[in-house]
Structure 1
């Protein structure tokens, strides 16, 4: 029998065991995170290319004017710091009545693999001293997270997807700043929205039960001497808490807190455009795709809309080639490549001619010695987006940018991917949710079947938190 949740102390604050997931580029901002903290939970400001504002309170468009990628990257870092500071300050103002009483908390979320991550994190924390309680960080192995958090006197919340990953982080770095470990976030790699931490040994088509994985994480934490007061945050696939009743007061798991990434998208304070909210209300089971088109190289989960289906179709229009006639590759490719000399199999030659006849007249090389066939318009968009790169990731497969002295991955830019900065900025600021990447967790289809959302009802954050506390 589930009778609701009790508050606990996490990161030195009294909070409900309810954490708002910090969602990417402007999908979680001050309005939602401030309201979440005001309701007594942990509100999480996304500090990934966050919006900043002019003197009249209007969002400042992130326009890149520099001529070189390196200089555009500097513009990106400047935008990132200014936006992160602005969002935290506004979130704190909203939640201040409770925060000053020691109730609720404001965290920030950063991606370790975002471009300039450490510089942006330093800049935001320096500019928001006394306002931020903790830093949630994933998308990679953030070894320096504990060191940076301790420097500013804030807690850190590493996002991991296996006990093995936490063990590596603890032994290399986190044990040296154990007192600042606020919680460990277990993000289920099959259920969570956005980028997921699937390893090469795990099958994306074979989801695993999170319980034994979280039990293994707690056992590892105990083995390493991590305090029992440090909770595990379960992230991914959480819709209503009565479905997780056996996780509460469970001595095997210890203290567990729950993170909600998808449900806060559909609140009145959520900053995502109304069209995106409407799309969420009408999803069916299976409409979320776990895919690997992201330029980060990570798997990620998003709505399988025309934008993603076009990427799927693009990869299907793909053939292997050789620069010399060898083996089965004996047939000179005569479409899509101009005067360049490529040899393919007979079957692939026929397929290429068919695609060419259907309007996919341009063959673009990939880093894997294959060719993908696209329209002229698609080719032009891909090339422009690659040329406009501002280094939003530490390592980008789409543009071949890498945050090093050479600013190059050393590999060919991959036309099968996309500019993630461009599409996430667009959808967050009014772009068509059918023609952009629309991140969502695999439980998002439940909006359409949950009676609470019938007739298009969209709750306030306060209403959602109160409902979650009761288990619904």
Structure 2
């Protein structure tokens, strides 16, 4: 397969390779990986989502939340987030040695996103080349970018989403729009932009979607020189050769989220790196258990399988006898206001007999059945919420107004901050969420990683530039 090669682009006032390191959640992308990516001539990305900070001896400071109320813990989380991201940016900038560029990545749906972003940019002036932001509709991103004179790179999954952002806000700060990241909903890892109108079981070819995005950008007057960054499913660039120098698409850059996980500089634990080498096609699950409400992709490990099983042990109910709900549920719940179908009553009794004796209500007028131990974990995690999201389905937290979504907390979900912090710092892989893109199985197939070889970031970037 031929490969025509890449040409550098102008970004942040200097020439860089159109290769972007994808920012990954909590502590999975830090100064070591992003600084090295920039030093190799690309665009490194520091994750500003509750990043690690360090004590005087260089040890990671555990993010412990001792405050009594959710609001106080949320304020503590914002302080942790700002301190950590500032430290990571300073270190990444030093490692880059003035080469490439260092971006930061934030999720607009994270708790206190605007406060964190402003706090970080205030203390890193001249170091951050751009801000990548998705997981929501970040209308205020351009306004914040203008205030701190940094580039911004919104993450979208359709031309429609970009048009909405552009017309409402971005057209006012068009000169700082450095790129538009197209995150493919069927290929990307972590949270993605799959809309309710799309079928997650029927992924679409990204080319027509990216062409439609470029057509939308052109219609709004955005120059072809503003790159679209293809994110999701990118492994060998030779497989994307027809995208490069393609007049239909305009300028194209490529984001690598999964491949940088398996490098010497990658901060994830060794057990996680080793596990990546074992994955097969189908081992990544596109699911909707995240408390954000977004679809996301992760390794289908025992943690995710448990969430699947938890939702399988689920029956609808009504508070009065109605329709097919003709019998009263007599296991797992207190009171008599739970009417179900005879078939569902039989299923509930079977689950009860198998040890799933606790019934928990969901916001959708259903009941799930869990073990007593699992119930205790769910209730404790909900009570310990530190407000890491702007809206959390699992705990019903909201980061403004009355600090509640007004909906019943959903036991089918989980505390995302707890599990991402744990897995990033050496917690058991089987008991935590492991984000990954759908191409993660290719570690097992790619000759680069044979004989347990782990490249440096520089070696990986050089390899990518050959087409492999």
**Smaller-chain TM-score bracket:** over 0.9
Aligned to 1:356: 352
CA drift at 1:339: 3.5
Aligned to 1:229: 225
Residues in 1 aligned to 2:258 and 2:88: alpha-carbon distance in whole angstroms: 20
Residues in 2 aligned to 1:432 and 1:368: alpha-carbon distance in whole angstroms: 32
Residues in 2 aligned to 1:329 and 1:142: alpha-carbon distance in whole angstroms: 43
Aligned to 1:47: 48
Aligned to 2:361: 365
1:10–1:231 Cα contact (<8 Å) kept: no
Aligned to 1:7: 8
CA drift at 1:10: 2.3
Aligned to 1:264: 260
CA drift at 1:435: 1.3
CA drift at 1:341: 3.1
Residues in 2 aligned to 1:334 and 1:164: alpha-carbon distance in whole angstroms: 49
2:4–2:241 Cα contact (<8 Å) kept: no
User: What are the equivalent positions in structure 2 for 1:329-408 lying under 5 Å apart?
Assistant: 329-408=325-404
Aligned to 1:419: 415
Residues in 2 aligned to 1:273 and 1:340: alpha-carbon distance in whole angstroms: 49
Aligned to 1:446: 442
Report the secondary structure of 1:169's partner residue: helix
Once the two structures are superposed, residues 225-282 of structure 1 have per-residue CA deviations (whole angstroms, 9 ceiling, x without a partner) of 1122211100000001000000011001011000000000000100000111111000
Residues in 1 aligned to 2:407 and 2:272: alpha-carbon distance in whole angstroms: 35
Aligned to 1:198: 194
Aligned to 1:218: 214
| RMSD, matched Cα | 0.8
CA drift at 1:440: 0.2
1:115–1:391 Cα contact (<8 Å) kept: yes
1:3–1:470 Cα contact (<8 Å) kept: no
2:328–2:336 Cα contact (<8 Å) kept: no
Once the two structures are superposed, residues 31-83 of structure 1 have per-residue CA deviations (whole angstroms, 9 ceiling, x without a partner) of 00000000000000000000011111110000001000000000000000000
Residues in 2 aligned to 1:327 and 1:169: alpha-carbon distance in whole angstroms: 45
Aligned to 1:175: 171
**Normalization by structure 1: what TM-score?**
0.98
Aligned to 2:27: 26
Range 327-336 or range 185-194, more displaced: 327-336
Report the secondary structure of 1:441's partner residue: coil
Aligned to 1:466: 462
Residues in 1 aligned to 2:324 and 2:168: alpha-carbon distance in whole angstroms: 49
Count of paired positions? 467
CA drift at 1:8: 1.3
Residues in 2 aligned to 1:142 and 1:44: alpha-carbon distance in whole angstroms: 18
Residues in 1 aligned to 2:5 and 2:212: alpha-carbon distance in whole angstroms: 26
Match 2:135 to one of 116, 136, 139: 139
2:232–2:255 Cα contact (<8 Å) kept: yes
2:38 paired with 1:37: yes
Range 322-331 or range 452-461, more displaced: 322-331
Residues in 1 aligned to 2:308 and 2:452: alpha-carbon distance in whole angstroms: 31
1:43–1:107 Cα contact (<8 Å) kept: yes
Aligned to 2:84: 83
Aligned to 2:158: 162
1:10–1:230 Cα contact (<8 Å) kept: no
Once the two structures are superposed, residues 86-133 of structure 1 have per-residue CA deviations (whole angstroms, 9 ceiling, x without a partner) of 00000011112xx2xxx4000000000000000000000001011100
Residues in 1 aligned to 2:336 and 2:188: alpha-carbon distance in whole angstroms: 44
2:397–2:404 Cα contact (<8 Å) kept: yes
Residues in 1 aligned to 2:74 and 2:82: alpha-carbon distance in whole angstroms: 13
**Normalization by structure 2: what TM-score?**
0.99
Residues in 2 aligned to 1:42 and 1:397: alpha-carbon distance in whole angstroms: 34
Report the secondary structure of 1:373's partner residue: strand
Report the secondary structure of 1:434's partner residue: helix
Report the secondary structure of 2:359's partner residue: strand
CA drift at 1:340: 4.5
Gaps of 5+ in 1: none
Gaps of 5+ in 2: none
CA drift at 1:7: 1.2
Residues in 2 aligned to 1:328 and 1:172: alpha-carbon distance in whole angstroms: 47
Aligned to 1:125: 121
